[in-house]
Amino acid sequence: LDAVRKLDLEARIGIEAGEVVTEDADSTFATGEPVNVAARLQQAAKPNQILIGPGAQRLALGRLELEDVGPVDFRGGAEPVWTWAVTGIATGHARAARFAAPFVGREAELELLENSFARAVRDRRAHLFTIYGDPGIGKTRLAEEFLDMLDGVTVLRGRSLPYGESITYWSLAEMVKVAAGIADDDPLDEALEKLRQCCPAEAVADLLALATGVLEAVQGEASQQEIAWAARAWAEKLAEPQPLVLLFEDIHWAEEPLLELIEHLAAWVKDAPLLILTLARPELLDVRPDWGGGRVRATAIEVEPLAPSESEQLVDALLETSADASLEAEARRALLEKTEGNPLFVEETIRMFIEEGGDGAARRIPDTLQALIAARIDRLEPEAKRIVQRASVVGRVFWAGAVEHLSGDVDAVGAVLEELELRDFIAREPRSTISDEEAYRFKHVLIREVAYGGLAKSARAGLHERFADWLRERAGEELLEIRAYHLDQAVTLLAELDGAAPAPLVRDAAAALAKAGKRALAREANRSARRLLQRSVELQPTLERRYEAARAAWRLSDIPTVSVEMEAVCEAAREAGDAALEARALTAVAEVVLYRDGDVERGRQLGERALSLLHDEDDEARYDALETLSMIGWWTGDLAAVERYTQEMIDVAERTGRKDLVSQALIGLVGVHDSRLEQDRIEPLLNRAVELAEESGSIMARAWACRAQGDLALRLHDLEGAQTAFESARELFTEAGAAAPLAKTLQQLASVAARRAETARAEKLLRESVRTLRQLERRGALVESLRQLAELLVADGKLDEAERFAIEARETVTPHDISSLATTSTALALVREAQGRDEEAERLFREALAILGEIAWPSLERKPLRALARFLRSRGREDEARAYEERLEQLELLAAGAA
Whether 802 has a pLDDT exceeding 70, the answer reads yes
Q: How would residue 221 be classed by pLDDT, with cut points 50, 70 and 90?
A: low
Q: How would residue 189 be classed by pLDDT, with cut points 50, 70 and 90?
A: confident
Q: How would residue 24 be classed by pLDDT, with cut points 50, 70 and 90?
A: low
Mean pLDDT of 775-787: 83
pLDDT the model gives residue 215: 46
- For residue 808, the tally of other CB atoms under 10 A from its CB is 19
Q: Over the range 592-619, which residues count as b (16 or more CB within 10 Å of their CB) and which as e?
A: bbbbeeebbeebbebbbbbbebbeeebb
Residue 520 has phi, psi (to 5 degrees) of -65, -40
Q: How would residue 806 be classed by pLDDT, with cut points 50, 70 and 90?
A: very high
SS (HEC) of 764-786: HHHHHHHHHHHHHCCHHHHHHHH
Tell me if residue 568 falls in helix, strand or coil: helix
Q: How many angstroms separate the Cα of 622 from the Cα of each of 233, 584, 808?
A: 32, 8, 37
pLDDT the model gives residue 813: 86
What is the C-alpha to C-alpha distance for residues 407 and 463, in angstroms, rounded to an integer? 9
The conformational region for residue 275 under phi > 0 = left, psi -120 to 50 = alpha, else beta, is beta
pLDDT the model gives residue 98: 46
**CA neighbours closer than 13 Å in the CB half-sphere of residue 733:** 20
pLDDT the model gives residue 897: 57
What is the C-alpha to C-alpha distance for residues 265 and 244, in angstroms, rounded to an integer? 12
Whether 876 has a pLDDT exceeding 60, the answer reads yes
663 contact partners, CB below 8 Å, separation of at least 6:
689, 690, 692, 693, 696, 698, 701, 704, 705
- Among 192, 182, 174, 166, which Cα is nearest to 257's? 166
Whether 53 has a pLDDT exceeding 50, the answer reads yes
| Residue 491 contacts residue 509 (beta carbons within 8 Å) | yes
pLDDT the model gives residue 344: 84
- Among 710, 706, 782, 781, which Cα is nearest to 751's? 710
**DSSP calls for 255-290:** -HHHHHHHHHHHHH--SS-EEEEEEE-TTHHHH-TT
What is the C-alpha to C-alpha distance for residues 41 and 51, in angstroms, rounded to an integer? 6
- For residue 324, the tally of other CB atoms under 10 A from its CB is 9
Q: How would residue 381 be classed by pLDDT, with cut points 50, 70 and 90?
A: confident
Q: Where would I find the beta strands (DSSP E) of 314-449?
A: 326-327, 359-360, 397-399, 426-428, 439-442
SS (HEC) of 84-139: EEEEEECCCCCCCCCCCCCCCCCHHHHHHHHHHHHHHHHHCCEEEEEEECCCCCCH
Average pLDDT, the chain: 86
Whether 85 has a pLDDT exceeding 70, the answer reads yes
pLDDT the model gives residue 452: 92
What is the C-alpha to C-alpha distance for residues 765 and 767, in angstroms, rounded to an integer? 6
| Residue 86 contacts residue 80 (beta carbons within 8 Å) | no
Q: How would residue 326 be classed by pLDDT, with cut points 50, 70 and 90?
A: low
What is the C-alpha to C-alpha distance for residues 785 and 782, in angstroms, rounded to an integer? 5
What is the C-alpha to C-alpha distance for residues 220 and 215, in angstroms, rounded to an integer? 8
What is the C-alpha to C-alpha distance for residues 518 and 524, in angstroms, rounded to an integer? 10
| Strand 126-132 relative to strand 154-159, pairing | unpaired
- For residue 890, the tally of other CB atoms under 10 A from its CB is 13
pLDDT the model gives residue 147: 93
pLDDT the model gives residue 100: 60
| Strand 244-249 relative to strand 154-159, pairing | parallel
- Among 32, 12, 10, 11, which Cα is nearest to 21's? 32
Whether 103 has a pLDDT exceeding 90, the answer reads no
What is the C-alpha to C-alpha distance for residues 612 and 607, in angstroms, rounded to an integer? 9
State the sign of the Cα–Cα–Cα–Cα dihedral 602, 603, 606, 609: negative
| Residue 351 contacts residue 99 (beta carbons within 8 Å) | yes
Percent of the chain that is helix, strand, coil (3-state, to 5)? 65, 10, 25
Whether 28 has a pLDDT exceeding 80, the answer reads no
27 contact partners, CB below 8 Å, separation of at least 6:
none
What is the C-alpha to C-alpha distance for residues 351 and 374, in angstroms, rounded to an integer? 13
pLDDT in tens, 718-745: 999 999 999 999 988 887 777 888 999 9
Residue 59 has phi, psi (to 5 degrees) of -70, -25
Whether 244 has a pLDDT exceeding 80, the answer reads yes
pLDDT the model gives residue 97: 40
Tell me if residue 304 falls in helix, strand or coil: coil
pLDDT the model gives residue 535: 95
What is the C-alpha to C-alpha distance for residues 492 and 500, in angstroms, rounded to an integer? 8
Mean pLDDT comparison of 296-310, 466-480, 831-845, highest-scoring range: 831-845
pLDDT the model gives residue 862: 87
**DSSP calls for 435-489:** TT--EEEESSHHHHHHHHHTS-HHHHHHHHHHHHHHHHHHHTTTTHHHHHHHHHH
**CA neighbours closer than 13 Å in the CB half-sphere of residue 581:** 21
pLDDT the model gives residue 752: 95
pLDDT the model gives residue 495: 93
The burial class, CB within 10 Å (0-12 / 13-18 / 19+), for 136 is buried
SS (HEC) of 627-679: HHHHHHHHHHCCHHHHHHHHHHHHHHHHHHCCHHHHHHHHHHHHHHHHHCCCH
Whether 133 has a pLDDT exceeding 50, the answer reads yes
pLDDT the model gives residue 165: 54
pLDDT in tens, 785-800: 999 999 999 999 999 9
Mean pLDDT comparison of 478-482, 620-624, 697-701, highest-scoring range: 620-624
Whether 273 has a pLDDT exceeding 90, the answer reads yes
Residue 310 has phi, psi (to 5 degrees) of -70, -40
pLDDT the model gives residue 30: 82
Which helix or strand (DSSP H or E) is residue 760 part of? helix 759-776
Name the percent of the chain lying above pLDDT 90: 42
Q: How would residue 322 be classed by pLDDT, with cut points 50, 70 and 90?
A: low
Q: How would residue 126 be classed by pLDDT, with cut points 50, 70 and 90?
A: very high
pLDDT the model gives residue 359: 53
What is the C-alpha to C-alpha distance for residues 222 and 843, in angstroms, rounded to an integer? 49
pLDDT the model gives residue 722: 94
Mean pLDDT of 424-442: 86
Which helix or strand (DSSP H or E) is residue 299 part of? strand 298-302
159 or 55, which is more confident? 159
- Among 709, 682, 704, which Cα is nearest to 693's? 704
Q: How would residue 781 be classed by pLDDT, with cut points 50, 70 and 90?
A: confident
Mean pLDDT of 476-499: 90
Q: How would residue 169 be classed by pLDDT, with cut points 50, 70 and 90?
A: confident
pLDDT the model gives residue 94: 37
pLDDT the model gives residue 833: 93
Q: How would residue 192 be classed by pLDDT, with cut points 50, 70 and 90?
A: confident
Whether 451 has a pLDDT exceeding 90, the answer reads yes
- Among 147, 145, 144, 117, which Cα is nearest to 129's? 117
- Among 281, 326, 350, 264, which Cα is nearest to 140's? 281
